[in-house]
Chains A and B, each alone.
Chain A
Amino acid sequence: MNGLVMKSTVPNTLTFLFGFFLLFVNVSELSAQQSPANQTAKPVVDIRIGYLRAYEPQLALSVLDIPPRDEGLAGANVAINDNNTTGKFLGQKFTLDVEETKFNADVVPAFKEMIARGNHFVLTDISAKQLLAIADLAKDAGVLLFNVGATDDILREKECRSNVFHTAPTRSMLADGLAQYLVWKQWRKWVLLYGSHDDDKLYADAIRRAATRFGATIVEERLYEDKGTARRTDSGVVLVQQQMPVFTQNLPEHDVVIVADESEVFGSYVPYRTWTPRPVAGTAGLVASSWHPASEQWGGVQIQNRFAKTTGRRMLSKDMQAWTAVRILGEAVTRAKSAETKQVEDYIKSDEFSIAAFKGQKLSFRNWNWQLRQPILIGDGHSVVSTSPQAGFLHQFSELDTLGVDRPETECKLK
């Protein structure tokens, strides 16, 4: 405030007082007239971002793979801090409004409460089914959704929406990223082992599509039926050591074993236990993802350090997907110079929009389904092995569009 007053020319006390009065009644108008040099007393604009998540404790085949309690959410919080560091120079204050529900719960009541609390921007980490239950409700309420969790292609295809942006990659993007690397390695003969749950089958579909797309052959497929088994038993490892070689016996000649087991029923048991010694990729072994806890390229060290310092753990893909969504909103509010939903939406949907997210190049949205185009990291449990798109996979518009369903093939009709 002092800065404002001191920088005005004040001929006498009366105008000084009047000026002071004005300052109180219409701060925003006054500061808008200030040159950028005098921006010490910007009025603060509050930007509330909602975060709707489905969470239940989950088990995994390896205790190392159990999702952290705040997976995704932690990334959003780090981005809120980042936005606020920038915001202190621009008069922006971001806050996160979190609502938690269960995996198969009806999310509509929770979402309605979020709308009632004035959320116009909501990040969602819920299932495709849950997202579809609120997408049109959101549209009617003028709410923009940012899908940070669901990889289902259908949300970007048949069931796409003009008010839903996706920072999570699709299964087809992940499968294509992996396939490009395997083909670059000349590992073209694949065996596909897939689980019996819906998500496993969708991942397997993406793998089949990727094989056709990039010239690989699936020489045999095997279904691993989930007959219900405890993931944690004292002597289970002895059984597994017997089961997995038998499950992978008598396969035709192949270069690599692809596992499609999002449900964590058998995938992590496959590496090192196959009948013939072959590398394993897919949902176990060499995995494609939007981020990797060990990625340090392209300035990645900085976000990794920041994240680890704040949360006490390494940054996972969902954390990065949520971080990116919150940063997109921060960037849009700054560039559009407005926190109004319409202005923010227009900016994100414009050709000017791009976002930096430690992946070596700018990321932007596919304007036919609002999927964020992004490089896919290929890594094992310890390190990043490669980044797709691989060199040589060309595209007329963007190499990033060699990953996932491209414009000519899309089934999305935005409405």
Chain B
Amino acid sequence: MRHHMCLLAATVALPFLAQPSWANMVYVSNEKGNSVTVVDSKTMEVVKTIDVGQRPRGITISPDGKIVYVCASDDDTVQMIDTATGEIIGSLPSGPDPELFTLSPDGKTLYIANEDDNLVTVIDVESKGVIAEIPVGVEPEGMGVSPDGKTIVNTSETTNMAHFIDTSTHEITDNVLVDSRPRYAQFKPDGSEVWVSAEIGGTVSVIDNATRTVTHKITFEIQGLRSEQIQPVGIRISSDGKKAYVALGPANRVAVVNAETYQVEKYVLVGQRVWQLAFMPDGKSIISTNGLSNDITFIDTETDEPIKSVTVGQLPWGVAVAPN
């Protein structure tokens, strides 16, 4: 069942080019395994497995790298892991069935999508208190925050919208219609655009943050695959804003998109059901979670070739990397 293409590719890649200079810990949430796998980015080996709550999905790390936050969806909570000890040190109220969240750039506020209640819950991380609950569309999912922290974007999967929320008032200011089942929202590092993936629609909508209108629609074509199999989910955009990576779900590939021309430049075959992505802090590689292959793949962002796949827990979903 496992894909061996990526392993094969790893042997021909130039390891010294590909190896990041820092050893960063990579945290992977395993949806079916109820665990978080910790991988050393330098050795690309599993160093630890941490048992967490039921159905861990969304995962992120504090800007200082001290705390990993995991949505334990079926336990209706967000768990906090101390990265120094690997122990769970507490939990945050999350509202029911948290799936994805985003942390404000200053690390103080967590914005959580509650799928069952059509709400976005805003949590103050320090006091662990609920600051606000914002009604949004049906099945809120993706959460993106602008680099200046002033705007969050939530996507609702059955309403098919990106909701722009002002973080000072907690009010929706704009609703932008996108394609079917929007899964993920990602701001460009300069805050000029928000990219929203539509899993069933098979597209990525580029929304201009100034006018809040869709300016480009990126589509994907892979020879030998039907359009239904191409289901964009996770998105990451490089810090210079030039390149974007889009996880394509059951198409088993990550698309490399020129973020200035919106053209797809390459498809990188990684593993089955590619879900989420995270850059290494130096930007030299990006990691994909491959749910049905039970592994993650390190991709070299210079060559856009897979470097190595590492087996993690059951059904890897999200990934977060400790900062330098």
Query: Is A362 a contact partner of B226 (Cβ separation < 8 A)?
Result: no
Min CB gap A254→B, angstroms: 32
Query: Is B174 a contact partner of A354 (Cβ separation < 8 A)?
Result: no
Give residues of chain A (78-95) contacting chain B, Cβ–Cβ below 8 Å. 82, 85-86, 89-90
Which of B97, B118, B174 contacts A85 (CB under 8 A)? Answer: B118
Q: How extensive is the interface on chain B, given as a class?
A: 20 to 34
Query: Is A82 a contact partner of B226 (Cβ separation < 8 A)?
Result: no
Q: Is B305 an interface residue (CB 8 A)?
A: no
Q: Please give me the residue from chain B that is nearest to A337 by CB atom.
A: B177
Taken residue by residue from 287 to 319, chain A's Cβ proximity to chain B (1 for < 8 Å, 0 otherwise) reads as: 000000000000101100110010000000000
Kindly list chain A residues whose C-beta atoms are within 8 Å of the C-beta of B202: 362
* In the complex with contacts A36-B174, A302-B116, A356-B97 CB distance below 8 A: no
Query: Is B228 a contact partner of A361 (Cβ separation < 8 A)?
Result: yes
Q: Is A39 an interface residue (CB 8 A)?
A: yes
Min CB gap B215→A, angstroms: 13
Query: Is A86 a contact partner of B180 (Cβ separation < 8 A)?
Result: no
Total interface residues on A, CB under 8 Å, equals 27
Min CB gap A101→B, angstroms: 31
Query: Is A39 a contact partner of B226 (Cβ separation < 8 A)?
Result: no
Kindly list chain A residues whose C-beta atoms are within 8 Å of the C-beta of B137: 85-86, 89
Kindly list chain B residues whose C-beta atoms are within 8 Å of the C-beta of A90: 175
A-B residue pairs, 7 tightest by C-beta: A86-B159, A356-B200, A361-B228, A89-B175, A362-B200, A356-B180, A82-B138
Give Cα A301–Cα B181 distance, bound, in whole angstroms. 15
Residues of B within 8 A of A (CB): 97, 115-116, 118, 137-139, 156-161, 163, 172-177, 180-181, 199-202, 211-213, 226, 228-229, 231, 250
Query: Is A86 a contact partner of B160 (Cβ separation < 8 A)?
Result: yes
Known: A36-B175, A39-B175, A335-B177. 9 other contacts (CB 8 A): A36-B213, A89-B137, A302-B139, A354-B180, A360-B250, A361-B231, A362-B180, A362-B201, A362-B202
Kindly list chain A residues whose C-beta atoms are within 8 Å of the C-beta of B174: 36-37, 39
Give Cα A331–Cα B212 distance, bound, in whole angstroms. 21
Give Cα A412–Cα B67 distance, bound, in whole angstroms. 62
Kindly list chain B residues whose C-beta atoms are within 8 Å of the C-beta of A334: 160, 177
Q: Is A355 an interface residue (CB 8 A)?
A: yes
Q: Please give me the residue from chain A that is nearest to B229 by CB atom.
A: A361
Q: Please give me the residue from chain B that is nearest to A309 by CB atom.
A: B116
Q: Please give me the residue from chain B that is nearest to A89 by CB atom.
A: B175
Kindly list chain B residues whose C-beta atoms are within 8 Å of the C-beta of A302: 97, 115-116, 139, 157
Min CB gap A324→B, angstroms: 12
Q: Is A171 an interface residue (CB 8 A)?
A: no
Kindly list chain B residues whose C-beta atoms are within 8 Å of the C-beta of A331: 160
Give Cα A404–Cα B137 distance, bound, in whole angstroms. 35
Give Cα A236–Cα B274 distance, bound, in whole angstroms. 54
Give residues of chain A (86-115) contacting chain B, Cβ–Cβ below 8 Å. 86, 89-90
Q: Is A345 an interface residue (CB 8 A)?
A: no
Give residues of chain A (361-415) contacting chain B, Cβ–Cβ below 8 Å. 361-362, 398-399
Taken residue by residue from 36 to 64, chain A's Cβ proximity to chain B (1 for < 8 Å, 0 otherwise) reads as: 11010000000000000000000000000
Q: Is A327 an interface residue (CB 8 A)?
A: yes
Min CB gap A34→B, angstroms: 12
Q: Please give me the residue from chain B that is nearest to A87 by CB atom.
A: B159
Main secondary structure of the interface of B (DSSP, over half): loop
Kindly list chain A residues whose C-beta atoms are within 8 Å of the C-beta of B172: 89
Give Cα A301–Cα B96 distance, bound, in whole angstroms. 13
Kindly list chain B residues whose C-beta atoms are within 8 Å of the C-beta of A305: 97, 116
Min CB gap B170→A, angstroms: 15
Query: Is B175 a contact partner of A306 (Cβ separation < 8 A)?
Result: no
Query: Is B176 a contact partner of A36 (Cβ separation < 8 A)?
Result: yes
Give Cα A250–Cα B273 distance, bound, in whole angstroms. 48
Give Cα A35–Cα B210 distance, bound, in whole angstroms. 12
Query: Is B173 a contact partner of A306 (Cβ separation < 8 A)?
Result: no
Kindly list chain B residues whose C-beta atoms are within 8 Å of the C-beta of A354: 180, 200-201
Give Cα A292–Cα B250 distance, bound, in whole angstroms. 22
Kindly list chain A residues whose C-beta atoms are within 8 Å of the C-beta of B138: 82, 85-86
Query: Is A399 a contact partner of B226 (Cβ separation < 8 A)?
Result: yes
Query: Is A306 a contact partner of B116 (Cβ separation < 8 A)?
Result: yes
Which of A35, A86, A335, A361 contacts B161 (CB under 8 A)? Answer: A86
Give Cα A86–Cα B161 distance, bound, in whole angstroms. 8
Query: Is B116 a contact partner of A89 (Cβ separation < 8 A)?
Result: no
Give Cα A86–Cα B162 distance, bound, in whole angstroms. 11
Kindly list chain A residues whose C-beta atoms are within 8 Å of the C-beta of B159: 82, 85-86, 89
Give Cα A398–Cα B202 distance, bound, in whole angstroms. 16
Selected A-B contacts with CB under 8 Å, 10 pairs: A37-B211, A86-B158, A86-B160, A89-B137, A301-B97, A302-B115, A305-B97, A354-B200, A356-B157, A362-B180
Q: Please give me the residue from chain A that is nearest to B158 by CB atom.
A: A82
Kindly list chain B residues whose C-beta atoms are within 8 Å of the C-beta of A335: 177
Give Cα A331–Cα B213 distance, bound, in whole angstroms. 19
Query: Is B173 a contact partner of A361 (Cβ separation < 8 A)?
Result: no
Kindly list chain A residues whose C-beta atoms are within 8 Å of the C-beta of B116: 302, 305-306, 309
Give Cα A335–Cα B161 distance, bound, in whole angstroms. 12
Kindly list chain A residues whose C-beta atoms are within 8 Å of the C-beta of B180: 354-356, 362
Query: Is A299 a contact partner of B139 (Cβ separation < 8 A)?
Result: yes
Kindly list chain A residues whose C-beta atoms are within 8 Å of the C-beta of B175: 36, 39, 89-90
Kindly list chain A residues whose C-beta atoms are within 8 Å of the C-beta of B139: 299, 302
Give Cα A398–Cα B97 distance, bound, in whole angstroms. 34
Q: Which of A334, A355, A360, A398 has the most CB of B within 10 A?
A: A360
Min CB gap B213→A, angstroms: 6
Kindly list chain B residues whose C-beta atoms are within 8 Å of the C-beta of A86: 137-138, 156, 158-161
Taken residue by residue from 8 to 52, chain A's Cβ proximity to chain B (1 for < 8 Å, 0 otherwise) reads as: 000000000000000000000000000111010000000000000
Give residues of chain A (335-370) contacting chain B, Cβ–Cβ below 8 Å. 335, 354-356, 360-362
Q: Please give me the residue from chain A that is nearest to B198 by CB atom.
A: A356
Give residues of chain A (196-248) contacting chain B, Cβ–Cβ below 8 Å. none
